[in-house]
Structure 1
Amino acid sequence: MDGLNCVIPDSERVIFDSNIEEKYLSDTLGRLRGRAEALVFPESTKEVSDIMKYAFEHGIPVTPRGAGTNLVGSTVPADGGIVLDLSRMNRVLEIDKETFTATVEPGVVLEDFQKLVESEGLFYPPDPGEKTATIGGNISTNAGGMRAVKYGVTRDYVRGLEVVLADGSVAELGGKVVKDSSGLSLKHLMIGSEGTLGIITKAIVKLTVKPQTSLSVLLPFDDLHTGIRAVLNVIRGNLDPTAIEFVEKKVVNLGEEYVGLSFPYKDAQAYILLTFDGDDTEEIYKRVEKLKAVAEESGAKDVLLLEDQKTIDAVWKIRGALVKAVEAKSEQEPVDIVVPINKSAEFIEYINRLEQETGVQMVSFGHAGDGNVHLCVVRGSRTQEQWEEDRRKVLAFAYDKSSELGGLTSGEHGIGLSKKKYLKKATDPLNLQMMKQVKLSLDPKNILNANKIFD
């Protein structure tokens, strides 16, 4: 590894062996741990390219990472080698108001970027729950979030990419153009590939005009089944909501305790939380009036317009902290299964029955508008041996049920190390073979984030 000092002469940006901090060998959960002989902090595309040329020549595995907020082990250096931390490549290179695009480096933090573009009267809609994640990480997992029901996911906002391939070659994919039917869409291969096909060193992302008004509405229900069924009526009602989130009362209680704030309307067992945005306030309130009629017909106990800023902040802060609230109580396994939206209620009902049958607590919430169900499978007081056995059992049941309903293994977290066996079981062998062929064509020595997604 001494050759890295030739590539990056700054000794503070190349760290070897036992001097590497533990956090660089894991993900945000910290339960999967890898090993690495070197940790490198590049500051330019040329440095990334030179590092990859060195690694390719010597057959050294390379694990790229951003902020390390991944939940499935995608940033764990399972095979040793080099950890390539891109967090210092964190410049916003351009905000182009003529083409409604921004050009950014991969280490730009999402929340910082959103604040910057909004200060310019613009808007970057992708809004995954972890705002301290980087843009490069979001692209690598095709992150979704709460606003996906109206605005789509990260993939829908990537116009162009600069990518360093396994052999150090630098590829320019896409650009500032809106349309592209010029051959195979190589850009889209990179999005969601978890750093297995190339290392993103620059991204051109689409921006929109910032909405002038946003309104949050809370629908309380006597049970989650009724609430989830109501979501289909909301979508059919052509109300154009920005977000549709569902959460059970038992989960809200954990969130309230964790952040020290309160949810309105205590007399409910489940909630649907919606937002509406746009430039015409009158039009938004017209949509909310239509929502009231749909909600009443769908069994909602009330329709609460959240117009007080303190209440709005409290509700969304509680919703945003649910995973951390569960984790503060007990070790848990986060799951982000996605099913067709008309199967969401059936899937959650199955999970609730599974919880009763197995005695394993499973906390559910998520994006009701796109069928993305987030589960926290909770360890509780189990011994390590009991936890391993029970977790394996309930996860197998959950993933099998999602597959039966036409769902997929991951909606936005990715596969990484944690979900490989579930992906393998649920995916057509031909599809897996095609994935592997793409991987080997771009990374013939299998050094880029090796053994992630599939073996």
Structure 2
Amino acid sequence: MNRVATVRPEDVDLHAIRTITDPMMVENYLQDESTAMVGQADVVYLPTTEAELAAVLRHCYETRTPVTTSGAGTGLTCSRVPLGGVVLSTEGLVRPVCDKPGPGERALSDGKHTAFVNDEQMYVVAPAAIRLEELAAVLAPEKLLYPPNPTEQTAFIGGTVACNSSGGRTYHYGPTRAWVQAARIVLSCGEVLDLRRGEVIADEQGRFEIVLSSGETLHVQLPSYHAPEVKDASGYFVGREQTDLLDLFIGSEGTLGVFTQVQLGLLPLPPSIFACTGYFERVEAAVGFVKAARAATDDPGSPIDALAIEFFDPHALTLLRTKFPAIPEEAGAGIFFEQAINEGQDEDDILMAWAELLEEHGSIADWSGFSDRDRAEMVDIRHAVPELCHQLVRQSKQHKVATDVAVPDGALDAIIEAYREIGEATGVRYVLFGHISSNHLHWDFIPMSEEETEASHRAFLELSRRGVELGGTISAEHGVGKKSYEEDGVQRPYLYLMYGEQGLRETALTKHQLDPAHILNRGNMVPESYLNELEGTG
């Protein structure tokens, strides 16, 4: 069925909702982790309940006041950076909407946050403002795991769902989308959708009908494009066979509604995780190892079952040696990988299989981690690459230029060759690293001058286009937010690289039909000018 009804929460006195108006305190909500731009807002609203949040949106909808949703601020695309109007912070949403657990559920709490767990059906009902690391800490004593593993563990759950966040272990577990079973979402008009996966599916023409409490019906048309069959966080999700309304909101970067509560699938917490970093003389040998590890993971008869496989090119290793001198000098590439060791599995068989694979592909050294401390140090090395890049570009008073491209399995060699060819031609220092198990590598330029920054931007565009030509995406995990680029004197939104003008206009129409006042997260994904052209249309 493609039709669903909303509910209107109880009315709340807007003046009873906590706000921030002190300009110095408002400044905390005007940037994200990228620091790429500084926004402007008059007031920050801090609702603590779904009804309060809905009241803020209803007021802004009626007054046509722009609203920018703000989570933990860990994003890198300026999605939460306001372009005027008000900021709606979700930080006060620390409890599920219902006060008591439902049938089969029990409450867990860390003293600040509350979540409801169903042990039999293996899910957790989580509020929007619990951080990933906080949810993990609540679940760990119960030997439960929420599998998605985005890099930034301080992100709010609501923000990770709004951006369909992912990370290294997406290779094994899939992105956030794969684990969202249900959600409560407040629309721009202040009405609430309570969606459960599989219940509201677009019809054959890609349409939904949302009936408001007033009796008015919102007719929503999906864009005609389809999400690429790779790890992806670019634009609205449209499935190749069918699209669940829940999936349209997941990854929409706050442009269609605000998540207040989500129901997430769980797994048993693995008793232990084995981690290892192998070093190789050449990139080709490392890539051969990755392909063999993926093939073994796909083989039900193999003890190898990788959670994540991460790559470091020779430039990344050179940069890392400034902080981690134990990395072998002769290494021209590195691979970090993890595997969960579950009850009933033979640990010796698993370790032997990995050791044989490393030897077969010419690994010159390896470092195996059997303790949480060893594994944490390996993860620190992986995360040190972008941090060291940031330090260098700040010293030169430039900014880092980085790609987020992912391609299909068959295009891995082609995209690596494109990185080498395009990167070397610029003459700008760069590193290549990241989630090679998902064919998703980060290409970070480290420009030292304005001229090098301009050259980096040109290369960035060329490589992004190459990724799309190979059947991939321009953004596998960061999203597109307010990112844009200039070419031939024309400023275009980042999503234009992937879907062109028609795709952008179709995206704008979908937003217009769900947010007719165009108040939610203006500037994200589509230009405001496209929305302005739709003013007054149905």
Give the TM-score taking structure 1 as reference length. Answer: 0.90
Candidates 357, 366, 375, aligned match of 1:294: 357
Candidates 132, 138, 162, aligned match of 1:116: 138
The residue number in structure 1 matching 2:198 is 180
How far did residue 253 of structure 1 move? 4.6
Candidates 66, 77, 88, aligned match of 2:82: 77
- Does residue 394 (structure 1) correspond to residue 462 (structure 2)? The answer is no
The residue number in structure 2 matching 1:171 is 193
How far did residue 409 of structure 1 move? 0.9
| Pair 1:392–1:304, CA change in 2 (3 A) | closer
How far did residue 17 of structure 1 move? 6.8
Q: Distance in 1 between matches of 2:118 and 2:326?
A: 40
Alignment coverage as a number of residue pairs: 439
How far did residue 189 of structure 1 move? 0.8
Q: Distance in 2 between matches of 1:108 and 1:404?
A: 39
Select between 137-146 and 88-97 the one with higher mean Cα deviation: 88-97
Q: Distance in 2 between matches of 1:387 and 1:7?
A: 50
How far did residue 264 of structure 1 move? 5.0
| Pair 1:69–1:182, CA change in 2 (3 A) | closer
Q: Give 1:238-277 correspondences, 5 Å limit.
A: 238=299, 239-255=304-320, 257=322, 261=324, 264-277=327-340
Give yes or no for contact 1:396–1:422 (8 Å, CA) kept in 2: no
| Pair 1:281–1:221, CA change in 2 (3 A) | farther
- Secondary structure class of the residue paired with 2:403: strand
The residue number in structure 2 matching 1:138 is 160
Candidates 407, 427, 433, aligned match of 1:339: 407
The residue number in structure 2 matching 1:235 is 294
- Does residue 379 (structure 1) correspond to residue 447 (structure 2)? The answer is yes
- Secondary structure class of the residue paired with 2:437: coil
- Secondary structure class of the residue paired with 2:493: helix
Give the TM-score taking structure 2 as reference length. Answer: 0.77
Candidates 3, 9, 15, aligned match of 2:16: 9
Q: Give 1:54-453 correspondences, 5 Å limit.
A: 54-78=59-83, 80-90=84-94, 91-174=113-196, 180=198, 182-184=200-202, 185-237=244-296, 238=299, 239-255=304-320, 257=322, 261=324, 264-280=327-343, 282-307=345-370, 309-330=372-393, 331-380=399-448, 382-383=449-450, 386=451, 389-419=454-484, 421-427=493-499, 429-453=501-525
| Identical aligned residues as a percent | 27
How far did residue 66 of structure 1 move? 0.7
Return the letter of the residue paired with 1:357: A
| Pair 1:208–1:82, CA change in 2 (3 A) | same
How far did residue 403 of structure 1 move? 1.5
Return the letter of the residue paired with 2:144: L
Q: Distance in 1 between matches of 2:133 and 2:402?
A: 22
Give yes or no for contact 1:101–1:206 (8 Å, CA) kept in 2: yes
How far did residue 267 of structure 1 move? 3.1
How far did residue 169 of structure 1 move? 0.5
Task: Encode CA deviations 1:154-201: one digit per residue, 9 max, x unaligned.
Answer: 011111110000100011011xxxx72553421111110000000001
How far did residue 443 of structure 1 move? 0.5
Q: Distance in 2 between matches of 1:65 and 1:133?
A: 11
- Does residue 51 (structure 1) correspond to residue 123 (structure 2)? The answer is no
| Pair 1:150–1:293, CA change in 2 (3 A) | same
Give yes or no for contact 1:162–1:170 (8 Å, CA) kept in 2: yes
Q: Distance in 1 between matches of 2:44 and 2:159?
A: 18
- Secondary structure class of the residue paired with 1:369: helix
Give yes or no for contact 1:71–1:334 (8 Å, CA) kept in 2: no
Return the letter of the residue paired with 2:460: L
Give yes or no for contact 1:262–1:314 (8 Å, CA) kept in 2: no
Select between 41-50 and 340-349 the one with higher mean Cα deviation: 340-349
Return the letter of the residue paired with 2:430: M
Q: Distance in 2 between matches of 1:87 and 1:376?
A: 31
More helix by share: 1
Give yes or no for contact 2:419–2:443 (8 Å, CA) kept in 1: no
How far did residue 302 of structure 1 move? 4.3
Return the letter of the residue paired with 1:422: Y
- Secondary structure class of the residue paired with 1:162: strand
| Pair 1:301–1:261, CA change in 2 (3 A) | closer
Select between 50-59 and 301-310 the one with higher mean Cα deviation: 301-310
Return the letter of the residue paired with 2:428: V
Q: Distance in 2 between matches of 1:44 and 1:279?
A: 39
- Secondary structure class of the residue paired with 1:337: coil
How far did residue 266 of structure 1 move? 4.5
Return the letter of the residue paired with 1:96: N
Return the letter of the residue paired with 1:328: Q
Select between 220-229 and 27-36 the one with higher mean Cα deviation: 220-229
Q: Distance in 1 between matches of 2:199 and 2:93?
A: 30
Give yes or no for contact 1:213–1:280 (8 Å, CA) kept in 2: no
Return the letter of the residue paired with 1:394: A
Q: Distance in 1 between matches of 2:117 and 2:258?
A: 22
Q: Distance in 2 between matches of 1:298 and 1:84?
A: 52
Task: Encode CA deviations 1:391-441: one digit per residue, 9 max, x unaligned.
Answer: 331211121111222210110100001156332122155543432222111
Q: Distance in 2 between matches of 1:336 and 1:160?
A: 28
Question: What do you get for the CA RMSD once the two structures are aligned?
Answer: 2.2
Q: Distance in 2 between matches of 1:69 and 1:147?
A: 19
Gap runs ≥5 in structure 2 = 1-11, 95-112, 203-243, 394-398, 485-491, 528-538
Gap runs ≥5 in structure 1 = none
Q: Distance in 1 between matches of 2:249 and 2:52?
A: 20
- Secondary structure class of the residue paired with 2:116: strand
Task: Encode CA deviations 1:261-281: one digit per residue, 9 max, x unaligned.
Answer: 555544312111111103147
| Pair 1:88–1:266, CA change in 2 (3 A) | farther
